[in-house]
Amino acid sequence: MDKAIRRINDQAKLDIIYDIISDVRKSVNFAYSSTFFLDKVRCSHCNGTLGRQERNKNLDGVTKRCNICKREKSPRYLTMIYQVRLPLPIIFKVFYDCFGRKNNSIKETATECDISFPTAQSLLDKIRTAVTHKILKDQAHSMVGGFGVDVELDETMITHTDCVQIWLIGVVERNSPRRCMVLFPEA
């Protein structure tokens, strides 16, 4: 019975996700409601408030317009996808395919979304970087371990080039909710 309920709940979640990634307008509304797009942003030119305004010629069908100087900014302004020139449903589909229940490889995701492999890889690198910075910012002042405390450590290589390896190291106190993550570049 529990498995059947879980399957129904999973299918309902999938229906919601597919509904969001099927339409630009629904993707934009989801981005604002989930605070992926910021609602209260100040204009970098005059410090006025940027308000949401529909604009069909824009990639997302909406723009942010300053109430004082009337300059326009993308709704992606001050987000990790500000420079990405893909439609929002495609971006959400890439997120879901790689990090959601599908857990596809980058190559499979690029093929399914009809984008190039370097584009998919660049987008996923931006996601990883944003998530890593958020984790590190939240954990910046926490200390893990101490005298007589057992800790567990795990590491994963995030990126690797000819000259540089970047490792993410996670430390967790056993029998405690305290944890810490550290980004460790190795030249």
Each residue's pLDDT expressed in tens, for the chain with a length of 187 residues? 455 555 555 556 666 777 777 778 888 888 777 777 777 788 888 888 888 888 877 778 888 888 889 888 888 877 778 888 888 888 888 877 776 656 677 888 888 888 899 988 888 888 777 766 766 666 555 566 777 778 787 777 776 666 667 777 777 887 777 777 676 665 4
End-to-end CA distance of the chain: 53
Own/partner contacts of 109-116, CB < 8 Å, gap of 24 or more, are 115/86, 115/90
CB neighbours of 107 closer than 8 A, spacing ≥ 6?
117
Spatial distance between the Cα atoms of 50 and 36, rounded to a whole number of angstroms: 16
Whole-model pTM over 0.75:
no
Cα 118 to its chain centre, rounded Å, is 18
From the list 124, 81, 119, the residue with the least C-alpha distance to 100 is 124
| Residue-range domain boundaries for the chain | 142-187
Spatial distance between the Cα atoms of 125 and 175, rounded to a whole number of angstroms: 33
CB 24 within 8 A of CB 60: yes
Instruction: Locate the DSSP E strands across 140-178.
Output: 151-160, 165-173
